[in-house]
Each structure stands twice: as C-alpha cells, then as structure tokens.
C-alpha cells in the first residue's frame, strides 16, 4: 500500500511548525498545571490517585488480617472492623479496580490509536476530579468513625436501618453515585474515541486488541452502572424520606436491592477483569515477538464475555429462596461464560508457543496472574453450581474465590502493566532484579494468604466475623493467612519502592525498549502533542511492519503537522475503515471542569448531611458552570468551513448529527440513562409480582392525568422534530417559535404528570406502591427539567447567532435527547396510568 | 428477482446480533418463569404451557442465530480465505467481521442451549 506523503520541509519550516504545535499543546505551569485537560496528565493523575486509594485499602486489609490472626483477638473493635472490611471492599472495587482501567485507557489509548487526543478531553478532566473528590470523601469517613459498615454490597434491612448503619451508608450511596458519574463519563469518552478517533487507515480488523477490550468494557459500563444508580436513588429515598422501597412491612422488598446491586455487581467483575486481560493481549505478543494468534478469537472472547456476564447476577443470590428454575438459568449462564474466558487463555498460550518467549518481569507477573486466576475460575465453576453454593455461601470459601479471581485477574496483570509501561511515561525501566523478587514474594504470599481460606470456609468460617473462639478449629488457617498477607504486602511494597525510588543513575531506555509492535511506543514522552503528525497505518503492528513510520511522523509528513489555526486539533475517521472525515477541535486547559466537578461534589456531599440550602446553591453552581463550559467550548462555529489537513487533503471543521462526535456522546449517555430508567420500571413490576395486589388497595394516579401528560410530551417531541426540520431550511423565526411551543408543552406535560399522584393523595411513606409511582414521576420530571434547559439553551444560541441552518449541532443533539425523553415519558405514564387497570 | 435474504450491510452492529438474541432469550426465559412462579396460574396457564412456549421460543432464537450465522459465513466468503485477515484492505476487514460474527454466533448458539436446559429437566418452579 502506498501513501502520498506530504512534502519534506526545510529545517526552519519544521521548527516553526513544531513551535506552534508545542505552544498550543503546552501543559500549563505553576498551579495552573492542575487545569490541564490533556490525556497524559489526566491519565497520570487518575492512575496515581487510584493507587493511593488502593494502598489505603490494602492497609485496611492488613488490619483485618491482624485482627483475625488469633482467636478472641481484641486488637480492634467490632464496629471498627465492620467499617474496615466495608471500606476495604468498596475502595478496592470502586476506587481502584475500575478507575485504574480508566486511567490506563485515558493515558495510553490516544497513542495506541494514533490520535492526538481523545475527543472530549475536558470530560476526562471532569471525570477525574469527580472521582478524586468522591474518593477522598468516602475514604476520609473512617477517620471520623463514620465509614459505611454494612459490607460493600450494603444489603437492606441492615443498611437502611439508621440506628445500625449511621451516616456511613449515606456516604457510601452518595459518594459512590458521584463516582459513577466519572465512570459513565469515561465510557462515553472511550467508546467515541475508539470508534471515531483512530489513525487513518486503522480499520476495525487492525485495531489493537486493547482497544477492542476497552470498547466492550465501556459498553458494559453503560448497562451495568445505571441499575446501581437507580438502586442508590431508591435506597437514599428510603433513608432520607422514609419511602419504603426495601421495607417489607410496607410492601417493599430487600431483594429488589440485591437484584439491582448485582445486575451491576456481576458485570463489574468483568469490567475489572477484561481491561487487565487486555494488557496481557498487548504484553504477550510483544514478549513472544510475533502477532497474536487468533485475533478474531480474542474479539469473540471480549464481546462474548461482555454479553454473557450480564446473565450471572442471580448467582450471588442463590440462597435467597428464588425458584430453582430461575437459579438454574443463571447457573447455566455462569457455566457458559467459562467458554469465552477459556478461549482467551488458550490464545495466549498458543501465541507463546508459536513465538520465542522472552521471560521478562511483565511476563512473569502476567503468567503468574493467569495461574492464580485459573484457580479462582475453577472455584468459580464450583460455586456457580447451586447445591455447592448453598454450602459455601457467605463463608471464607467465597472470600478465597473472589480474591483469586480479582488479584489474579486484575492486580497481577496491572502490575505487569506497570513494569511494561513504566518506560512509556518515564523513559526508564524498572529494576528486573527487584521485580523478580517482588513477584515471588507476591505470588507465594498471595497463595499462603488465600489458599487456606478455602479450608477455613469449608470448615464453616463465615465472612465478616470480627473474631472467633478457639474451639472452632479455624485458628491455624487464619494465622497462616495473616502471615501470607504480610509477605504479599512486602512484595507489593517492593514494587512501590522501585517505582518511587530516584532513578538518576538508571540509564535511559530506548524509545521502544521491548521492541513492541503497536503505536503507543512511538510516544515522545517530553512532548504533549501526542503525534508530531498523525500517521497513516496499514498494519496491526505498525512498528514491526512500517519501518519508516517514526521518521516520517517526526518529519511532519502525515496529517495535521501544523497548528497554524491556533487550536488543538485531531482527526475524526470512519468507524469501519478509518477513513479521515473531519478535523476535530478539542478543548484546551480550563478551570471550568474542575469548578463543575467541585460544585457537583458539593451537591452530593451536602445531600449526605441533609444541608438543603448548600445543596441547592451547589446545584445552581453546577448548572452555571456546565452551561458556561458548553457555551464557550462546544459547537463553536469555525472561521472556515474546511481545514487543510496536510497530505493535500482538506476536511470539514464542523459536522452535526450522527457524523459528529457530540451526537454520539449524547446517544451513549442516554443509553446509560435509559438503562437506569428501565431499572426503575423493573422495580415497579417487581413489586407487582411479589404481591397479590401491589397497590394494597390504595388509589393510583388515575388514567386521565398520566395519559394527558403522555400526550403533551408526544406533542412537545413533535414540535422539536418540526423545529429541527424547519431549521434545516434556515427559517430562523419559525424555528424559535417551535422551540418556545415545545418548551411550553414540556412544562404543561410535567405539571400534568405531577397532577396524577398529587390529586389522588398518594402518600409515598405509607406503602411502596405510591412511592414507586412517585419515583417514576420524579425521574421523568427531572428529565423534563433538563429538556427545558436544553430548549432554552437552543433558543439562546439561536439569538446569539450560534445556531443556524448549517451550524446546528446543538439542536440535533437536543432532538436526540428528546427521542429518549419521549421514551421515558411515555414509558412512565403508560405504566402508571394503564397498568393498574390492565393487570 | 429480489432475494429474501438481506444484502450485505456495511456496519459494525451486525457483530452483536447473535449475542443480542442470546440476551433477549435469556431475559424472556427468566422473566416469564419468574412471573409464573410468583403468580402461579396466571392467565389460567400451567407450568407446562409456559415451559413449552419457551421451548418453542428457544427454537426460534436458535433459528435466528443460525440465520445470523449464515449471513456471517457469507460475509466471511464462505470460508474461502483463512485468518488472520490483517491486511489493510476493505476485503480483509469484511472477512474479519464475517469470521468474528460467525464465532459469536457459535458461542451464542451454545449459550442459548445452556439457558434452555433447565426448561427440559425441571418440571416445576421448585420454590
């Protein structure tokens, strides 16, 4: 394949280009460093913060092990022990395992895909700050004896009982809801980035496998996190306002929480595992010095696992008394997911067999991790069988199983990743000798710590007991586990030491120290611009197959070698074939993302303490900062229609509708939002199934008001559609008129929606039926409030001359929102209005 | 004459067809049985009516997956070319898509059968 390169410029011309590029991509200095939104900085902060949280949770684990080392120990109190294990699990899952993959992805993906930047750098920054604030809030609680204490899955009725669980439960619910915002932001960023911001020529059959895995994981986040957000909402309504969603005395059911939690919780395990295995899919070919064997099989495994992992959630609920036929469905899916999981392990083994394996430190951690993971997978097959699970449920057998899966499937590969990618950002290698010692300490320590837990569990030791009497016969197992835990910790401390020690005497490593084949190893670690020019790729392993690539990129002979327009720019390419389509201008350093995240953090934190006025002030602050961010940073009308991108080609600077990245961001966000709504609807019908009469004889919202509301929302949606089509023909006045009409209809629809439950005296604290009707109406109203803000925003943009027939991104994105708004409104009002009379 | 079999389409979405069928089949089986077991005798139907209904639904799902698999096989050129399909050509990209889709159809087929096994061997809810 031949590519028409750009002209070879003189030394001076190139220096001038480089200066312009460097200026526009420069990282701010001084305190303004923290306003940076560039993926290299955000990725680094994200990763470091996640590791700090991990060390904190690791220390808690050591305390737990010390307490359990001997019988009848009184090192810590029962209450502190409860807080410690709850926080340990919560922090490891929510503040380390998921964010660390977001960190690695944000950090490495653009380089790997041959892009200058992800499409929404400010969104990444916003996500990072949300994560950091929420994480500090949740972790800090233990220093005030206020940490959550009911286990990381927060089962009601224990966790809904204010006497038993205190403010810790609120901190958990609100702090983590806030962090889930960051995860969904990352999912949007990654999906759009992987689909539309790859290097020209990088077709889907040539994408690095890491990108395939992350695409699947980001998709899973969209369907896994929203049910938890819906569950958090119901939970917090019960704790704050006594709405009885999980109170069986008033028609609620604690099992609904278990469903919603585990619809999130099980895919979560794979959301953690797949990115780690994705690192292996990069490391194994490098150290086998050959392309992966069975690329398509890995895609099968990634996509297959992604889907099947959603059919497993009830296997956490085998002992709740559900019908056995239901359990059997989940048992079947739990066994089926073993197939794709096994496929990827065989692919790695085949790749190693087919190449010449170099046994380096990253490979050691990777292979050791896989060995541990396989043991965890085998005990997983055991507990996926219902009768066995009944014996092992809530014992230390499960503790052993889950740590084998998570530490083998996640921590070891991530450590492999640290050794592998360390030269990528520091230009120096970590010590091989220390690495090998660390590995053996960790590997042996891990097995010594966790293998005996299987036996302790089979001998009946339950999870989460803070101590046990001597005569139970668990003491030796526990003492051995504690010793192992400290050996394991010593190994990890060695890794940490190696990472942090000054490396003045360590020689700089070559740019591509492992002789890897993928693009990220073109990275110039002292430059912030990503790529000097955006290359054309025609191999899965460009560094192996395109020997002149590095030089041609550095000579600026590919796309966008200059920044003469004074904007940060990258290329948008087509999904299937990586054909260049658009020059995308991305946001630069800004305080607004930080301000927005702090304001939103203020909302969640003040809600925890029920400081209503501060909540309202922070909410207004959030709204203003987000509006400012949108107004000044998105859908900017460019000075020219097309931009010369080098290599003799020009591309548009402004596109709208499905061709634009913003449209896809809206679509992806709303798919996640739709999942949360579906979870609430699931709740409504769940209550119907568990009661003979789920209304308990109480009045419903009637038929008239809900149907009127639905009709008004349909009318508003039609007006929005009309506004879009009229705007296409540049009829500005009519467009504005239709927007005003739609806004008025939305207001009326919202009011009509309220009138249903309001006029029928539905008292939400009395029974779960009125509560679930109200929560659906409130959910819809919150969405219509956002819709109204969007309509007003479009009007304002139109009056400001920023929304026209040609430049209509805002309107198209809002109409897309309206498709989902319509589904939410019709779904809500049809359900609450019609179902009571149909059943 | 117009063929009843859809023409080949240029999109990434087809990759997800078979797993989506698995997901729908799984959800329907679970929801139908959960409702029946919570409200026995609903609509005057018994366990066996639901069970056989779901078995028929399973056959439909399997048929659909086979059909999706056939389309994938066609996109893969009926196996005329071997993997790895890593060339920088539109042709190899399509072959890769076809092959990956075919593999996913196979996995989904097996997974649907897994889900259906309880329908065959359990004769009641066993609450």
Chain segment A150-175, per-residue pLDDT in tens: 999 999 999 998 888 889 999 999 98
Which residues lie across from A572 on neighbouring strands? A582
The angle, 0 to 180 degrees and rounded to 10, between the axes of the packed helices A396-406 and A432-458 is 160
B93 touches chain A (CB under 8 A): yes
Cα dihedral sign, A364-A366-A369-A370: negative
Q: Is the Cβ pair B125, A325 closer than 8 Å?
A: yes
Per-block mean pLDDT, blocks of 10 residues, chain A (839 long): 78 91 90 91 94 96 96 94 95 93 92 93 94 94 92 91 88 90 90 94 93 95 94 94 94 94 92 92 92 92 94 90 90 90 90 89 93 92 90 95 95 95 90 95 97 95 94 93 97 95 88 90 85 92 91 90 90 93 92 95 93 96 96 90 89 93 95 96 94 86 95 97 95 96 97 94 93 97 97 96 93 97 97 88
CB-closest option in B11, B38, B104 to A689: B38
The dihedral over CA atoms of A7, A13, A15, A16, expressed in degrees to the nearest 10, equals -120
Domain ranges of chain B: 17-121
Chain B hits for A328, Cβ within 8 Å: 117-118, 122
B111 touches chain A (CB under 8 A): yes
Window 24-83 of B: residues touching A by CB (8 A cutoff) are: 26, 29-30, 33-35, 37-39, 83
User: Testing the interface with A: which of B26, B55, B57, B112 to mutate, by most A Cβ within 10 A?
Assistant: B26
CA separation for the pair A442, B102 (Å, rounded): 41
* pLDDT tens per residue, range A74-133: 999 999 999 999 999 999 999 999 999 999 999 999 999 999 999 999 999 999 999 999
**A92 and A9 Cβ atoms separated by less than 8 Å:** no
Q: How far is A524 from chain B (nearest CA, A)?
A: 26
Q: Is the Cβ pair A328, B122 closer than 8 Å?
A: yes
Q: Is the Cβ pair A539, B125 closer than 8 Å?
A: no
Tell me A644's DSSP state. Answer: E
Q: Any alpha helices (H) in A463-591, and if so which ranges?
A: 475-500, 542-545, 549-554
Mean pLDDT of B66-80: 90
- In whole numbers, what is the pLDDT of chain A averaged over residues? 93
What are all long-range contacts of A562-567, with beta carbons under 8 Å and residues at least 24 apart? Answer: A562/A17, A562/A20, A562/A21, A562/A646, A563/A17, A563/A20, A563/A21, A563/A23, A563/A24, A563/A25, A564/A20, A565/A639, A565/A643, A566/A24, A567/A24
pLDDT given for residue B5 in this prediction: 77
A796 touches chain B (CB under 8 A): no
Window 178-197 of A: residues touching B by CB (8 A cutoff) are: 195
Nearest residue of B to residue A319, measured between CA atoms: B127
pLDDT given for residue B43 in this prediction: 82
Q: Is the Cβ pair A689, B35 closer than 8 Å?
A: yes
CA separation for the pair A688, A672 (Å, rounded): 25
**A787 and A816 Cβ atoms separated by less than 8 Å:** no
- Which structural domains are found in chain A, ordered by start? 671-838 (1.20.120.80)
Q: Is the Cβ pair B115, A307 closer than 8 Å?
A: no
What's the token pair of residue A109? 């993906």
Nearest residue of B to residue A1, measured between CA atoms: B88
Nearest residue of B to residue A575, measured between CA atoms: B12
Burial class (CB in 10 A: 0-12, 13-18, 19+), A483: middle
* Residue among A430, A563, A426 at smallest CA distance from A116: A563
User: Testing the interface with A: which of B100, B108, B112, B116 to mutate, by most A Cβ within 10 A?
Assistant: B100
Q: Is the Cβ pair B110, A537 closer than 8 Å?
A: no
Q: Any alpha helices (H) in A167-320, and if so which ranges?
A: 168-196, 209-241, 254-288, 295-308
What's the token pair of residue B123? 């004769």
- ipTM at complex level: 0.94
CA separation for the pair A153, A265 (Å, rounded): 9
B115 touches chain A (CB under 8 A): yes
Q: Is the Cβ pair B111, A336 closer than 8 Å?
A: yes
Kindly report the number of other CB atoms within 10 A of residue A60's CB atom.
22
- In whole numbers, what is the pLDDT of chain B averaged over residues? 89
**A550 and A516 Cβ atoms separated by less than 8 Å:** no
Q: Is the Cβ pair A329, B29 closer than 8 Å?
A: yes
A320 touches chain B (CB under 8 A): no
CB-closest option in B10, B30, B96 to A205: B96
Does this model's pTM top 0.90? My answer is yes
Under 8 Å CB pairs connecting chains A and B tally to 138
B125 touches chain A (CB under 8 A): yes
pLDDT given for residue B2 in this prediction: 59
Within 8 A by CB and 6+ apart from A53, the residues are A91, A95, A96, A99, A135, A139
**A531 and A553 Cβ atoms separated by less than 8 Å:** yes
Within 8 A by CB and 6+ apart from A801, the residues are none
Q: Do strands A580-585 and A642-644 pair parallel, antiparallel, or not at all (unpaired)?
A: unpaired
DSSP for A294-331, please give it. -HHHHHHHHHHHHHHGGG-GGGG-TTS---HHHHHHHH
pLDDT given for residue A1 in this prediction: 52
A575 touches chain B (CB under 8 A): yes
Chain A hits for B33, Cβ within 8 Å: 323, 325-326, 329
């Amino acid at each position: 394949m031949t590519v028409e390169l750009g002209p070879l410029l003189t030394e001076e011309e190139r220096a001038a280009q480089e200066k312009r590029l460097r200026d526009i991509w420069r990282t701010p200095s001084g305190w303004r460093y923290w306003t940076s939104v560039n993926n290299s900085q955000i990725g680094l902060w994200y990763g470091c913060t996640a590791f700090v949280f991990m060390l904190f949770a690791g220390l808690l684990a050591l305390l737990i092990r010390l307490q359990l080392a001997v019988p009848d120990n009184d090192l810590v109190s029962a209450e502190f022990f409860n807080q410690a294990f709850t926080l340990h699990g919560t922090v490891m899952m929510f503040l380390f395992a998921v964010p660390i993959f977001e960190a690695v992805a944000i950090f490495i993906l653009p380089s790997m895909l041959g892009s200058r930047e992800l499409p929404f750098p400010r969104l990444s920054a916003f996500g990072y700050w949300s994560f950091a604030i929420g994480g500090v809030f949740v972790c800090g609680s233990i220093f005030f004896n206020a940490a959550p204490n009911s286990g990381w899955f927060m089962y009601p009725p224990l966790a809904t009982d204010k006497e038993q669980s205190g403010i810790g439960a609120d901190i958990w619910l609100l702090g983590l809801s806030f962090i889930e915002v960051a995860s969904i932001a990352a999912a949007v960023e990654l999906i759009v980035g992987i689909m539309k911001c790859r290097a020209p020529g990088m077709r889907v059959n040539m994408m690095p496998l890491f990108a395939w895995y992350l695409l699947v994981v980001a998709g899973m986040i969209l369907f896994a996190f929203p049910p938890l957000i819906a569950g958090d909402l119901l939970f917090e309504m019960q704790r704050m306002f006594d709405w009885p969603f999980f109170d069986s005395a008033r028609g609620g059911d604690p099992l609904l929480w278990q469903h919603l939690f585990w619809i999130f919780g099980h895919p979560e395990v794979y959301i953690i595992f797949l990115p780690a295995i994705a690192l292996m899919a990069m490391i194994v070919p490098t150290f086998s010095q050959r392309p992966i064997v069975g690329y398509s099989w890995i895609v099968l495994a990634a996509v297959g696992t992604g889907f099947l992992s959603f059919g497993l959630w009830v296997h956490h609920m085998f002992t709740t008394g559900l019908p056995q036929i239901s359990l059997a469905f989940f048992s079947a899916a739990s066994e089926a997911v073993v197939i794709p999981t096994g496929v990827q392990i065989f692919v790695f083994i085949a790749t190693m067999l087919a190449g010449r394996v170099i046994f380096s430190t990253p490979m050691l951690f990777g292979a050791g991790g896989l060995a541990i993971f396989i043991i965890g997978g085998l005990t997983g097959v055991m507990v996926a069988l219902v009768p066995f699970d009944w014996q092992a449920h809530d014992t230390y057998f499960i503790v052993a199983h889950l740590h084998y899966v998570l530490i083998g499937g996640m921590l070891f590969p991530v450590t492999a990743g640290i050794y592998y990618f360390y030269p990528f950002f520091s230009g120096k290698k970590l010590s091989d000798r220390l690495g090998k010692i660390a590995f053996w300490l960790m590997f042996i320590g891990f097995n010594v710590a966790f293998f005996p837990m299987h036996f302790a569990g089979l001998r009946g030791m339950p999870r989460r007991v803070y101590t046990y009497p001597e005569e139970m016969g668990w003491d030796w197992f526990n003492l051995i586990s504690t010793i192992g835990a400290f050996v394991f910790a010593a190994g990890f401390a060695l890794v940490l030491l190696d990472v942090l020690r000054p490396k003045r005497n360590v020689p700089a490593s070559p740019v591509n120290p492992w002789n890897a084949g993928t693009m990220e190893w073109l990275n110039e670690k002292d430059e912030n611009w990503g790529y000097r020019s955006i290359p054309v790729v025609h191999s899965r392993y460009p560094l192996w197959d395109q020997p002149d690539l590095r030089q041609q990129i550095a000579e600026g002979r590919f796309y966008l070698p200059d920044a003469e327009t004074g904007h940060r720019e990258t290329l948008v390419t087509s999904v299937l074939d990586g054909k260049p389509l658009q020059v995308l201008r991305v946001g630069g350093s800004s305080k607004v993302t930080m301000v927005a995240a702090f304001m939103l953090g203020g909302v969640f934190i003040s809600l925890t303490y029920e400081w209503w006025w501060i909540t309202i002030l922070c909410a207004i602050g959030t709204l203003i900062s987000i509006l400012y961010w949108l107004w000044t940073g998105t859908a900017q009308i460019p000075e020219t229609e097309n931009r010369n991108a080098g290599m003799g080609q020009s591309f548009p600077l402004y596109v709208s509708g499905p061709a634009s990245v913003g449209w896809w961001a809206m679509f992806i966000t709303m798919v996640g939002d739709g999942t949360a709504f579906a979870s609430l609807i699931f709740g409504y019908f769940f209550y119907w199934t568990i009661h003979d009469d789920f209304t308990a004889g109480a009045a419903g919202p009637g038929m008239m008001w809900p149907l009127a509301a639905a009709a008004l929302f349909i009318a508003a949606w039609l007006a929005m559609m009309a506004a879009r089509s009229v705007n296409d023909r540049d009829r500005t006045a009519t467009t504005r008129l239709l927007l005003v009409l739609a806004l008025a209809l939305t207001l009326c629809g919202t009011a009509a929606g309220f009138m249903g439950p309001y006029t029928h005296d539905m008292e939400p604290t009395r029974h779960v039926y009125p509560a679930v009707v109200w929560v659906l109406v409130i959910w819809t109203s919150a969405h219509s409030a956002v819709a109204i803000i969007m309509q007003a925003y479009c009007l304002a943009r139109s009056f400001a001359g920023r929304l026209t027939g040609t430049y209509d991104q805002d309107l198209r994105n809002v109409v897309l929102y309206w498709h989902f708004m319509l589904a939410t409104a019709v779904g809500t009002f049809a359900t609450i209005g019609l179902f009571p009379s149909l059943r | 004459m117009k063929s009843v079999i859809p023409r080949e389409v240029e999109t990434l979405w087809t990759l997800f067809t078979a797993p989506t069928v698995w997901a729908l089949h799984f959800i329907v089986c679970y929801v139908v049985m959960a409702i029946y077991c919570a409200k026995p005798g609903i609509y005057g139907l018994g366990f066996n009516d639901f069970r056989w209904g779901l078995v028929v639904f399973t056959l439909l799902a399997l048929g659909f997956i086979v059909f999706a698999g056939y389309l994938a096989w066609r996109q893969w050129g009926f196996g005329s070319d071997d993997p790895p399909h890593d060339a920088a050509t539109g042709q190899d990209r399509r072959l890769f898509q076809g092959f990956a889709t075919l593999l996913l159809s196979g996995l989904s087929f097996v997974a649907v059968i897994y889900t259906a096994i309880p329908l065959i061997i359990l004769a009641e809810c066993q609450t």
